[in-house]
C-alpha cells in the first residue's frame, strides 16, 4: 500500500495562478518561496491588473529562476476596469497547462518548502475538487485578524470538510473541473466560496490541509477593512439569498468577537497595545457586512474602484512541530 509520504513525492507538477495589483512589496518574497518548493515542475502565471509600481518588473526578474527544468513564468495583463477576482482567475486558468492549479494572492508567501506538496496531496482522492491551506498573519497583522485566521484555519487538517468554506489566497483546484464550472466574474468577492459550493453540489469534496501554511500580509486601514467585508457580504447574499444580517446582528457579533479578542489579548499581555485596533477592526468588519447585505445591483466601475483600487493603496492552539526547516527569505 502506498504511504502518504510516497504519494507526495509522486505528485505531478502544477500551475500557479497569482493575482496582483501594486504588490511590489510582496511579490518577490512569494516568487522566492515558490522557487524553493520541493515540487519542481511549476508553471507560474501572474495576472496583473494594471500595476503602476514595480510589481511586473520584479516578477520579470525571476524569469531566469523559472526557466528550464520544467519551470516557467509568464505575465498576463488585464485592464483595471475589467478586474473582478473571478475574471482574473479565469484569465489565469485559461493559460494554465497543468491539471492541478494552485492559486495564491500576491501578498502571501509559503512558510515551508513543502507547501505545494502538502496542498496538492489531497488530489490523490479523485473526489477532491479543491484543497486549501492554513493562513497566518505576520507581525503587522491586526490582532483581531489573527484571531480570524486561527478560527477559520485550525492546526488540524480535515481531509473532507462538510461545508464549502475555502479561500483562494492559498488553494488549489482541478483544471478539468474549472473547465466545466468557471468562476463567477460578476461577484465582488467570495468567488472561491461560490465555486466550492457549486462543486460540493455536484458531489465533489473540499479538503483543508493545515500543513500547507502561508503567511498572509494584511495591514489595512479601517476603510479598507470596511470595504472588504462590505463586498464579501454583497457576494454572500448573492450565493446564499436566504441569509440575512440585521442591525442587532451587528451589535451581537461585534460585542461577542470584540470581548473574545480583548480577553485573548489580556491573556497574552497585549491588551494595551491592541485595544483600539481590536475595537475598530471588529466594528468595521460587522458594519461593513451589514451595509453589504443592504446593497443590491450590478458591480459598477465606481464600486470596483472602491473595492479593488482604494486610494493609498478562536484561540490559537498549539502549532504542531514540523520536521522540515522553514524557508529563509531574503530581506
Q: What are the pLDDT digits (tens) for 278-329?
A: 999 999 999 999 999 997 655 443 434 433 344 433 344 566 778 888 989 8
d(CA 72, CA 63): 7
Taking residues 194-223, report their average pLDDT.
96
Give the model confidence (pLDDT) of 6-55 as tens digits.
344 445 689 999 999 999 999 999 999 999 999 989 999 999 999 999 99
User: Exposed, middle or buried, 301 (CB in 10 Å: 0-12/13-18/19+)?
Assistant: exposed
Domains within the chain, CATH numbers bracketed? 14-216 (3.90.550.10), 222-308 (no CATH)
Stated pTM of the model? 0.89
Quickly tell me which residue has 451595509 as its cell: 291
Mean pLDDT (the chain) is 89
19-57 core/surface letters (b: 16 or more CB in 10 A; e: else): bbbbbbbbbbbbbbbbbebebeebbbbbbbbbbeebbbe
The DSSP secondary structure of 51-90, one letter per residue, reads: --SSHHHHHHTTTTTTSBTTBEEEEEE--GGG--HHHHHH
Q: What is the pLDDT averaged over residues 98-120?
A: 97
Contact 175, 93 (CB under 8 A): yes
Amino acid at each position: 500500500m502506498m504511504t502518504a509520504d510516497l504519494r507526495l513525492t509522486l505528485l505531478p507538477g502544477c500551475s500557479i495562478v497569482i493575482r496582483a495589483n501594486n504588490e511590489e512589496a510582496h511579490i518577490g518574497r512569494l516568487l522566492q518561496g515558490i522557487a524553493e518548493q520541493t515540487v519542481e515542475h511549476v508553471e507560474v502565471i501572474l495576472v496583473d491588473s494594471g500595476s503602476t509600481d514595480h510589481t511586473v518588473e520584479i516578477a520579470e526578474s525571476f524569469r531566469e529562476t523559472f526557466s528550464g527544468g520544467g519551470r516557467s513564468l509568464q505575465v498576463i495583463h488585464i485592464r483595471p476596469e475589467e478586474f473582478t477576482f473571478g475574471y482574473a482567475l479565469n484569465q489565469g486558468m485559461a493559460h494554465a497547462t497543468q491539471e492541478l492549479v494552485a492559486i495564491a494572492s500576491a501578498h502571501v508567501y509559503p512558510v515551508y518548502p513543502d507547501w505545494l506538496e502538502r496542498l496538492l496531496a489531497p488530489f490523490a482522492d479523485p473526489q477532491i475538487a479543491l484543497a486549501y491551506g492554513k493562513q497566518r498573519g505576520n507581525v503587522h497583522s491586526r490582532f483581531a485578524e489573527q484571531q480570524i485566521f486561527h478560527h477559520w484555519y485550525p492546526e488540524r487538517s480535515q481531509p473532507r470538510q462538510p461545508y464549502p468554506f475555502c479561500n483562494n489566497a492559498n488553494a488549489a483546484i482541478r483544471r478539468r473541473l474549472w473547465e466545466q464550472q468557471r468562476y463567477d466574474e460578476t461577484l465582488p468577492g467570495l468567488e472561491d466560496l461560490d465555486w466550492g459550493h457549486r462543486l460540493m453540489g455536484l458531489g465533489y469534496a473540499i479538503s483543508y490541509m493545515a500543513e500547507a501554511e502561508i503567511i498572509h500580509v494584511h495591514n489595512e486601514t479601517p476603510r479598507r477593512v470596511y470595504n472588504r467585508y462590505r463586498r464579501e457580504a454583497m457576494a454572500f447574499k448573492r450565493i446564499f439569498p436566504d441569509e440575512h444580517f440585521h442591525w442587532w446582528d451587528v451589535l451581537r457579533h461585534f460585542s461577542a468577537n470584540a470581548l473574545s479578542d480583548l480577553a485573548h489579548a489580556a491573556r497574552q499581555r497585549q491588551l494595551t497595545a491592541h485595544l483600539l485596533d481590536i475595537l475598530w477592526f471588529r466594528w468595521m468588519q460587522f458594519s461593513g457586512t451589514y451595509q453589504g447585505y443592504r446593497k443590491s445591483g450590478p458591480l459598477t466601475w465606481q464600486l470596483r474602484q472602491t473595492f479593488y483600487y482604494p486610494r493609498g493603496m478562536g484561540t490559537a492552539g498549539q502549532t504542531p512541530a514540523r520536521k522540515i526547516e522553514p524557508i529563509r527569505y531574503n530581506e
